[in-house]
Amino acid sequence: MISDRNKISILAVGGSVRDLILGRQPNDFDFLVAKGTVADFQKAFPRAKPVGKSYEVFFMNGLEFSFPRFTGNSTEETIDLDLAARDFTINCFALDQDGELYIHPKGLEDYASKTLRPAFADTFKIDPLRVFRAATFLARFPDFTAHSSLIEGMREAGKQGLLENIAPDRIGVELIKAMKSEKPGNFIKTLNEADCLHPWFKELANSDKIPAGPPKFHDKSVLGHTAEVMDKVAGNPITSWMAMCHDLGKVLTSEKYLPSHRGHDKKGIKPAKELASRLLLPNKYIKAGELAPELHMNCGNYTILRPGTKVDLLTKLNSQRLVENMADLCKADRGVDSMKEAHSDLVEILKVHLAEEDRNLGKKSGDKLRDLRAKRLKELN
């Protein structure tokens, strides 16, 4: 990590060091050039490509090398200044080639108590995206709790409108990271606690005040139930995203009809699409988000559906390769494996094909194929 000791000193910093301390396998490696000029660095690493705007950042072999935003009177002071300007104390670690560890003054304390705390008071003002990084962190590391100053800082950033001008794709990246985490539900719970669902996740705003359904079936709010289902399907980011979207229609229920939510499945299609599109999510997420609210009620009642309805449902899900995802979502939502026969049914209907003379006839061919497949399911039952 050090090239030409007299001129350049490079340390591993941030999340990779944190993961090592937490006993996890590091995934992303970032490095700090704590000593040496840009010219020294480029001479030592001519293949490094400059990408930084506000301060010097280079990429080489998929790794990021950044120069300090603040320079002290010594290498040690420069490292301390850099750590103090990072996002959260638990990320304020630097490790040199000799194994010497540099730490934010609160770093070890927060590591020991599993606390997520801002590294400095204005962390969210410097980079408002850190609001969403905080929510993602608490999804990835559910044994950590948010320090009161973290929630207060996030809330203040929201009040000041600092979240409005963040590039949407950057928020989408944080969301997908959260969907891949151990407790994806913590992402929306954290944003809700800090009043930061607006403007990017406004479809869930006030969902913590809306009952998820009649007490006979639900004992949580829409947000609480949504987070719970997200956590139950943790491990598959697409399914976690579908869980996040499946009850968005309930937020649109008129107060006079509560706690019932008749028609929330169809009502949820539009907000799910708008949410995914706003965050510039991949098309796979957009389609999955739309199908989750639209089909989860029928999928939850799969065993009592008519053969033709089953064919329609399976055909639509299979076109997006989402049959297993929906089955997992419904099991988490209902507590029963309502679609346990769906996979075998899909295998059977895909065996059914049109005769040569019935093909290429437009809607007539589609209707004929549907009828034949429905007939096949009826014969099986």
**100-130 residue pLDDT tens:** 999 999 999 999 999 999 999 999 999 999 9
Q: Which two tokens stand for residue 377?
A: 């399911």
**201-238 residue pLDDT tens:** 999 999 999 999 999 889 999 999 999 999 999 999 99
Is the distance from CB of 60 to CB of 49 less than 8 angstroms? yes
Per-run averaged pLDDT (10 residues), the chain, 381 residues: 63 88 83 90 88 77 87 90 92 89 91 95 96 98 97 98 97 98 98 98 97 92 98 98 98 96 97 98 98 97 97 97 98 96 96 93 94 95 79
Q: Work out the angle at residue 31's Cα, subtended by the Cα atoms of residues 26 and 37, and round it to the nearest 5 degrees.
A: 175
Is the distance from CB of 251 to CB of 270 less than 8 angstroms? no
CA dist 83 → 10, 121, 339 (Å): 14, 14, 51
The crossing angle, in degrees rounded to 10, of helices 323-334 and 283-300 is: 50
Give the domains, in start order, of the chain with CATH numbers. Answer: 1-113 (3.30.460.10)
Which residues are CB-contacts of 96 (< 8 A; sequence separation ≥ 6)? 1, 2, 9, 11, 102
Q: Which two tokens stand for residue 12?
A: 């591993």
Give 88's strand partners: 118
DSSP calls for 119-171 = SSTTHHHH-TTHHHHHHHHHHH-TT-EE-HHHHHHHHHHHHTTTTTTS-HHHH
Q: Work out the angle at residue 10's Cα, subtended by the Cα atoms of residues 124 and 56, and round it to the nearest 5 degrees.
A: 50
